Chains A and B, each alone.
Chain A
Amino acid sequence: MGGAGSVMRLGVAALPGDRSFRCLPARGKRWELPPPPRAGAMLGGGARASKPSFVSYISPEEIHIKEPIEKEVNPHLLPGELLLCEASTVCKYVQEDGSHRGTYGKLVCTNFKISFLDDDSASDDNEPQFKNKIVGENDITLQCVDQIYGVFDEKKKLLTGQLRKYPETLIIYCKDLRVFNFCLRYTKEEEVKRIVSGIVHHSQTPKLLKRLFLFSYASAAPNNTDGRNQTVMFETLEDWRDELERTKGNVKYKAVTTNEGYRVSEKLPLYFVVPICISEENILKYEGRGIPIWCWSCHNGAALLKMSSFPKEQDDSTSQMQKAFLDGIYKTISKPPYELLRMDDLSSSLPSLQDIQNAYTRFKQLFLIDNSMDFWATDVKWFSLLESTNWLEIIRKVLKKAIEVAECLEIQHTNVLLIEESATDLCCVISSLVQVMMDSYSRTKSGFQSLIQKEWVIGGHSFLDRCNHLRKSEKEEAPVFLLLLNCVWQLVQQYPPAFEFTETYLTVLSDSLYVPIFSTFFFNSQHQRDTNKSGESIKTQSGPFRFLTVWDWSVQFDPKALAFLNNPLYAEKPKPDRSQRKTSRFKHQRQLSLPLTQAKPSTKRGFFREETDLFFKNILGKRIGKFINSSDEPPNSFREFYDSWHSKPVDYHGLLLPRIDGPEIKVWAQRYLRWIPEAQLHGGGTIATAARILDLMEEVQSLQVKMDEEHSQAVSGDVHSAPLLRNSARLSSLFPFALLQRQSVKPALPTSTWKDLEDEDDLVKRDDEFVDLSGDML
């Protein structure tokens, strides 16, 4: 419970009055002074059942009797979006129980998305509370499509490229883990051909970069947003210098302009930071390879560096030269004033990209569920299936590596140099994680976004290749960025008050990977972005493209929805005066991390360390080998660091270490389970608490406003109306994402068993069996 004291001091100190007002328990009077009414009951009735009127539950067999009323519904098109093909009388199955129920409507494919339009989408009186303005609940952006299957005579077949036969049902698996079942049996054959081949072509076949919707959108919709975003974009030299200053790294490191015009390398950003002693010619020598590039400086001066290694060279003399070059570099940066250097070759100490991709492929399969039968079938073996995917294990390894790095920086005061072939994959993961753990600025929203910008977007992570946005090559695909988000999520759920953002923020961020109106995740490097920015558009009079950045969340969400991205329980750091705040944005006040007096290595370790292995095997008959310490790890400093940190109360503004023991690594339920109705809890889940917290927050804030008013002797309006208690009982645990299954009642048990009782004929048949049974019992 330590650390709770630092939480939630919502400016009480600034209030008038003093300790003479005692905090008396005022149970039952909590709701006495309500806040001003807010826009509606934000959460009320979120997952409420919508009007069932338009949902036709006629089975396909009945279709001949009753033609569905086709209202003319038109897709909502974004600027630059073009309708490519469409098909009507498509039935979208409600996937919940495999029964053939669903909604009829129109399926369209544009150059941006695949969209299903039913009558519902025309009526907007049932606006969900958490709505993405760009991608609706029945929209799938082309980049979000993972795989498409067709059902031919009850058989599922993967659809790629050319088709000879056209399926009765189209199953679309999305990268955000939605699954859509579209029945085409009642669609005209012509339309089926057009829509299926259109969808497969536009979502599954290789594409040119310039054909990304990003460009059509950017040329059609002039970007008028000014740069008032708080996120540091790291596109200018200034940004890097500010960052150096913020972390007090400017004594030993400098931002260089060597790469202007991409003279050094197209992979490197325009500006970056290197140790002061590195000369320009060194940087130029091998296109920036072998050069330690600065990521971040710790409060004690130790720095985190990254370096892209030389590829394996056949030529002996070349490799000799490279080696000599590297030795020279190491020598310079190991000398004072630089700290000792520790190198870590991530390609050997962490799982390969291929491993990561394989694990994730297996992992997501657990959540891409066609129907509830599948779900219950996997349910029995849930934990072992989960384990066999190895995904959680990879998360653990990555977190562990990040802790090791943090230990070197924090305790051993050594510089850490991360080495990787390109220094843009696992380097990004580790360096971002280390910063999230060690720098509380990175746990604010703008800080986190700046970090992603610095390490990933400008840092040169190949989003285009790793997400396979262009369907060029599956070999390059690897969910590296998702891995980071998964790791950060572990931290967020272990220490919610330390983060300004919520898990919902991480979830929508992961979804934004597939929304091609933002440039953020659709280029491989700054160079690629810059060259494509001008490009052809010179011909069209409009000048260089102005892309949107994903950090402008208002593009996707209304202010109401944006509230869900902010953590109401964020333990904000005491801020300097309001007047100074603006200027001190970059001089983010850094409290030193926990004073980690290094536990003195005890000369005499407890006896258990050495002897328990044998002892417990012998005596207790159980393998309790690693009783206290896994003694097989030669440097125990990691374990000591980890344990001593965890034995102290948490400082939410200081160093934050994730717990990485077996039971602590969890599944990011919000992202992965959100579309599975079987996992839904009506009126339950953490959202119930969150809703209550939001209420309390509102009330506290309004009271504070009132206090201010009182203080300034202003005539305050009389008592506000009572707060609209969000009825958390109406919400479900899948909120804010449970929009698809509005009609569903969560079955408490596999539905098939109950279904038998519904069907009269079936029951009659079964009756006899049961009668027999009961006869036997007599």
Chain B
Amino acid sequence: MAGQGCQGRAGCRSAGRDAGAGPGARGSFPGRSGPGAPGPPGQSPCAMSGAPGGRRPPFPALPGERVLEEAAGARRRRGNGGGSVPGTLLCTNRRLAFVPGQAPGSRGLLRPEDEVALPCIHKLVAASSFSKPKVLTAASTLKFIPEELAVFCRDFRLLRFSFPENGLAPQAFRVANAIAQAREAAARLGDAADGWASPGEAVPEEEEEEDEGSSTTLLFESLRDWEEELQRLGAAGWRVSAVNERFDMAPSLPQYLWVPSGLLDHDLKRTFGHFQERRVPRLCWHHPGGGHLLRAASFHPASEPGSEDVRCLEELLLGGRGPCVLADTAELPTLADIQLAHLRLRALCLPGAVAEEKWLSALEGTRWLDHVRSCLRKAAEVASLLAGKRCSVILQEPSDRDLNCLLASLVQLLGDPHARSLPGFQSLVQREWVAAGHPFPRRLGLLCQDSPREEAPVFLLFLDCTWQLLWQFPAHFGFTEAFLLALHDSSFSPDCSTFRFSCQRQRGRSSLPRLPSQTYRPMGGWQEPGGHRGHPNPCSFPPVWAWGRRYSRQQREQFRNPAGPPGPAGPPTPSTPAEPCPWGEPRLVLALAKGSLCPHSLPWWSRPPQRPPLWGSPSGSQGTLGGLLGTSCQPPPGLLLPCTAGPCVRLWHRCYLRGLPQEQRGRLAPSLAGLTEELQLLQERLRAWNLRRPH
């Protein structure tokens, strides 16, 4: 890992030496950042060599990462009263890292709590006993020597570093300024979306660690992935269309779309113009019982389809697949709501933000959990519709790039056991978020030029919803809370490509056209297509799913849920044929709003729809959703119906309350893992006994 060559980039000329490469880096001084920042008087850089703390263990730099500044002998404070750990505080061009004095051993991966990616830093505060604390930005540099540095992170962490007074002053000063500068620089780089990929970087060979995961995560960057997945779903009557292969039909859509087999590409092309951002309806998921889930942007207000267009549109929307239910996002929070709630939540989760006895009402006041509930409720409605009756549900959001991603993936989590396995979930995120063009950089606030209004952590809301499901149905998921946490944290991490781009087109432009090596095998299988090394501008970052790069084996083992479904996620649920739609009428369009269905019409229909057949079939006599589910009392196997009542929706403690001094320890998971381990040990021994024993 060490010794990756890295070329200095423009603007950091003096960083030519490989500062991040190892012990030798200590004492090397890459260009002092903070132009014009006056050094504290009377201190020379050499003072550092006399700094306490001794030689720090090697810093496991990422490819292309350079250490900009470091301060040996800093102390990281742990919680309250937990004392502090001595070590070295480093600022690189990617992240802020703390290398504890004692070598962590093993592969030298930093513990996740010891590092924070630069874009993840929300606020940097320096303080000393002699002057007022100060929020540091690139524009306003430090004028005093800090004694403590508090780093407020977007991922709800709060890191605190202190600098004991013995001769550390200059380093403390420089590190603080360097962080402020680097953070700004990182945000600026992010604006040029491909800026993260430094030229000439080589992807390190991922050594060893062949892992259990022969199961694959589909990246949905190639035709084969789309075909494979369509086959798994068993969606007869649908095909993969390459009509958008050159992103000329709809720039923000993926290259390949799932469309009805009956619709030729030629006809399909007629429909693009009638949807906003040209995002046409396409299949997301096929319920084995015959229901279809589609997603689309809303109808373009100015479109006036001609009769031929109408035929194509109706073929795409209705296609003789039973009634079509339009589910819009009116009941869901707006982007602004989500952002506001998230900000409030983050403020609430800072230590001591609110008196203990007011905690619950303050939590309610953030409305974050309300948003979680409404998303879950809507997804549950759609999922039970699909499970109960053979119909197609079209998720329709004006832009089709935010809440549709969330709803489409939630519905699949509820209805598809495969999506609840680890690779299945990764493929799901890849398809419904990454390929579908969720504008991650803007929504996560990783850019600095964007107006703040664009920021809305829809993806984090989705992770929270997923966590609620995980918490409510622990035995149905193949992954764990630890995995969700890792994913949550990685969304701010600069060294994975997944969250760096707004759509496939942008990603494609920043990298080379890939060889059709489409399936990415997690941990180990990542091979940069040969021959592209040294190309001026390859997207050299692996997707976030390459967990092996940042998480140790032990940590990754915690990603799998020992109490999950016993086998690997089996074939899709046995095809229980859903009740044939009782409403016969092929051209029926309904709208799902506030939990009920009502007739609806498509914009080009000249007159209101004819009176629809009655919704309540005689069989559905129960006044509940059960009526929609059919006659059985239990939800069909494989379908999860989450509870969205107040007492059942909880705060994701381990995620949001990490900033609090009390870390979460000793919960159920470790002991369960221990039990599983014990079981294996026993079985091994017994097997060995049997072998040894003469028969």
Co-complex (A, B): yes
The residues of A with any CB-CB pair to B shorter than 8 Å are: 1-4, 7-10, 12, 15-17, 21-33, 48-49, 57, 97, 99, 375-376, 378-384, 386-388, 390, 392-393, 396, 494-497, 569, 571, 599, 606-608, 611-612, 615, 618-620, 622-630, 639-640, 642-644, 646-647, 649-650, 652, 659-664, 667, 669, 673, 678-686, 688-689, 691-693, 696-697, 699-700, 703-704, 706-707, 710, 725, 728-730, 733, 743-751, 753-760, 763, 766-767, 770-771, 773-775, 777-778
Instruction: Work out how many contacts link A and B, with CB atoms closer than 8 A.
Output: 385
The reply to whether A778 and B603 contact each other, CB–CB distance below 8 Å, is yes
A680-B689 contact, Cβ under 8 Å, with A606-B77, A607-B148: no
* Docked complex Cα distance between A394 and B486 (Å): 36
Tell which of B101-109, B502-510, B632-640 binds the partner.
Answer: B632-640
In the complex, how many angstroms separate the beta carbon of B413 from the nearest chain A beta carbon? 13
Convert B654-695 into 0s and 1s, putting 1 for each residue whose CB lies closer than 8 angstroms to a CB of A.
000100111101111011111111111111111011000100
A626-B475 contact, Cβ under 8 Å, with A1-B665, A678-B643: no
Nearest residue (CB) in A for B667 is A496
Contact among A32, A624, A749, A759 with B625 in the assembled complex (CB-CB below 8 Å): A749
Contact among A624, A693, A710 with B675 in the assembled complex (CB-CB below 8 Å): A693
A2 / chain B contacts, CB cutoff of 8 Å: 665-666
In the complex, how many angstroms separate the beta carbon of A631 from the nearest chain B beta carbon? 10
Would you call B162 an interface residue if the criterion is a C-beta within 8 Å of the partner chain's C-beta atoms?
yes
- List 4 other contacts, CB 8 Å, given A10-B678, A749-B377, A751-B623: A2-B665, A643-B82, A703-B679, A751-B624
B684 / chain A contacts, CB cutoff of 8 Å: 21-24, 26
Nearest residue (CB) in A for B134 is A619
Nearest residue (CB) in B for A642 is B81
In the complex, how many angstroms separate the beta carbon of B357 from the nearest chain A beta carbon? 5
The reply to whether A639 and B81 contact each other, CB–CB distance below 8 Å, is yes
In the complex, how many angstroms separate the beta carbon of A749 from the nearest chain B beta carbon? 4
B129 / chain A contacts, CB cutoff of 8 Å: 607, 611
6 sampled A-B residue pairs with Cβ under 8 A: A4-B671, A28-B567, A28-B568, A386-B360, A607-B148, A681-B642
Tell which of B229-237, B346-354, B539-547 binds the partner.
Answer: B346-354
A747 / chain B contacts, CB cutoff of 8 Å: 624-626
The reply to whether A647 and B608 contact each other, CB–CB distance below 8 Å, is no
Contact among A683, A693, A696, A758 with B621 in the assembled complex (CB-CB below 8 Å): A758
Tell which of B32-40, B185-193, B590-598 binds the partner.
Answer: B590-598
A629 / chain B contacts, CB cutoff of 8 Å: 80
The reply to whether A615 and B635 contact each other, CB–CB distance below 8 Å, is no
The reply to whether B127 and A607 contact each other, CB–CB distance below 8 Å, is yes
Would you call B137 an interface residue if the criterion is a C-beta within 8 Å of the partner chain's C-beta atoms?
no
* Docked complex Cα distance between A33 and B687 (Å): 9
Would you call B641 an interface residue if the criterion is a C-beta within 8 Å of the partner chain's C-beta atoms?
yes
The reply to whether B633 and A706 contact each other, CB–CB distance below 8 Å, is no
* Docked complex Cα distance between A356 and B456 (Å): 43
B625 / chain A contacts, CB cutoff of 8 Å: 745, 747-749, 751, 754
* Docked complex Cα distance between A628 and B626 (Å): 50
The reply to whether A379 and B675 contact each other, CB–CB distance below 8 Å, is no
The reply to whether B364 and A757 contact each other, CB–CB distance below 8 Å, is no
The reply to whether B80 and A628 contact each other, CB–CB distance below 8 Å, is yes
A683-B646 contact, Cβ under 8 Å, with A643-B80, A707-B689, A748-B384: no
Nearest residue (CB) in B for A662 is B359
The reply to whether A754 and B624 contact each other, CB–CB distance below 8 Å, is yes
The reply to whether A745 and B629 contact each other, CB–CB distance below 8 Å, is yes
The reply to whether B473 and A688 contact each other, CB–CB distance below 8 Å, is yes
The reply to whether A692 and B563 contact each other, CB–CB distance below 8 Å, is yes
The residues of B with any CB-CB pair to A shorter than 8 Å are: 77-83, 123, 125, 127-129, 132-135, 147-148, 150, 160, 162, 212, 347, 350-361, 363-364, 369, 377, 380-381, 384, 472-476, 563, 566-568, 591, 594-601, 603, 605-606, 608-609, 611-612, 614-616, 620-629, 633-635, 637, 640-648, 651, 653, 657, 660-663, 665-668, 670-686, 688-689, 693
* Docked complex Cα distance between A730 and B381 (Å): 21
The reply to whether B360 and A679 contact each other, CB–CB distance below 8 Å, is no
In the complex, how many angstroms separate the beta carbon of A765 from the nearest chain B beta carbon? 12
The reply to whether B361 and A753 contact each other, CB–CB distance below 8 Å, is no
Nearest 5 CB-CB pairings of A with B? A382-B646, A662-B359, A647-B82, A626-B352, A643-B81
A763-B683 contact, Cβ under 8 Å, with A8-B678, A606-B148, A745-B633: no
In the complex, how many angstroms separate the beta carbon of A423 from the nearest chain B beta carbon? 28
The reply to whether A770 and B360 contact each other, CB–CB distance below 8 Å, is no
Nearest residue (CB) in A for B473 is A684
A646 / chain B contacts, CB cutoff of 8 Å: 79, 82, 661-663
A743-B633 contact, Cβ under 8 Å, with A704-B682, A758-B616: yes
The reply to whether A30 and B614 contact each other, CB–CB distance below 8 Å, is no
B606 / chain A contacts, CB cutoff of 8 Å: 778
The reply to whether B623 and A774 contact each other, CB–CB distance below 8 Å, is no
B135 / chain A contacts, CB cutoff of 8 Å: 619-620
The reply to whether B351 and A696 contact each other, CB–CB distance below 8 Å, is no
The reply to whether A49 and B361 contact each other, CB–CB distance below 8 Å, is no
* Docked complex Cα distance between A337 and B128 (Å): 48
The reply to whether B647 and A667 contact each other, CB–CB distance below 8 Å, is yes
The reply to whether A757 and B616 contact each other, CB–CB distance below 8 Å, is yes
Contact among B128, B622, B675, B676 with A745 in the assembled complex (CB-CB below 8 Å): B622
B597 / chain A contacts, CB cutoff of 8 Å: 757
A23 / chain B contacts, CB cutoff of 8 Å: 677, 680-681, 684
* Docked complex Cα distance between A680 and B212 (Å): 36
* Docked complex Cα distance between A26 and B612 (Å): 57
The reply to whether B623 and A758 contact each other, CB–CB distance below 8 Å, is yes
B662 / chain A contacts, CB cutoff of 8 Å: 643, 646, 659, 661, 664
B160 / chain A contacts, CB cutoff of 8 Å: 608
A680-B614 contact, Cβ under 8 Å, with A745-B624, A745-B626: no
Nearest residue (CB) in B for A685 is B472
The reply to whether B635 and A745 contact each other, CB–CB distance below 8 Å, is yes
* Docked complex Cα distance between A756 and B635 (Å): 21
The reply to whether B352 and A628 contact each other, CB–CB distance below 8 Å, is yes
Nearest residue (CB) in B for A57 is B621
Nearest residue (CB) in A for B123 is A620
* Docked complex Cα distance between A69 and B412 (Å): 46
The reply to whether B623 and A684 contact each other, CB–CB distance below 8 Å, is no
Contact among A379, A683, A700, A777 with B682 in the assembled complex (CB-CB below 8 Å): A700
Nearest residue (CB) in A for B689 is A710
A21-B681 contact, Cβ under 8 Å, with A49-B634, A639-B80, A745-B629: yes
The reply to whether A663 and B661 contact each other, CB–CB distance below 8 Å, is no
* Docked complex Cα distance between A194 and B470 (Å): 51
A619-B133 contact, Cβ under 8 Å, with A626-B351, A757-B616: yes
The reply to whether B616 and A8 contact each other, CB–CB distance below 8 Å, is no
A647-B633 contact, Cβ under 8 Å, with A3-B665, A497-B671, A754-B623: no
* Docked complex Cα distance between A746 and B643 (Å): 8
B620 / chain A contacts, CB cutoff of 8 Å: 758
B614 / chain A contacts, CB cutoff of 8 Å: 760, 763
* Docked complex Cα distance between A392 and B612 (Å): 51
In the complex, how many angstroms separate the beta carbon of A554 from the nearest chain B beta carbon? 28
Nearest residue (CB) in B for A680 is B643
Contact among B355, B567, B670, B693 with A1 in the assembled complex (CB-CB below 8 Å): B670
A599 / chain B contacts, CB cutoff of 8 Å: 81, 83
The reply to whether B601 and A778 contact each other, CB–CB distance below 8 Å, is yes
* Docked complex Cα distance between A489 and B661 (Å): 23
* Docked complex Cα distance between A612 and B648 (Å): 36
The reply to whether B661 and A643 contact each other, CB–CB distance below 8 Å, is yes
* Docked complex Cα distance between A662 and B601 (Å): 50
A667 / chain B contacts, CB cutoff of 8 Å: 647
The reply to whether A647 and B643 contact each other, CB–CB distance below 8 Å, is no
B657 / chain A contacts, CB cutoff of 8 Å: 663
A379-B645 contact, Cβ under 8 Å, with A384-B361, A622-B353, A760-B616: yes
The reply to whether B666 and A497 contact each other, CB–CB distance below 8 Å, is yes
* Docked complex Cα distance between A388 and B357 (Å): 9
A773 / chain B contacts, CB cutoff of 8 Å: 598
Nearest residue (CB) in B for A625 is B352
A97-B623 contact, Cβ under 8 Å, with A607-B147, A683-B476: yes
* Docked complex Cα distance between A22 and B677 (Å): 11
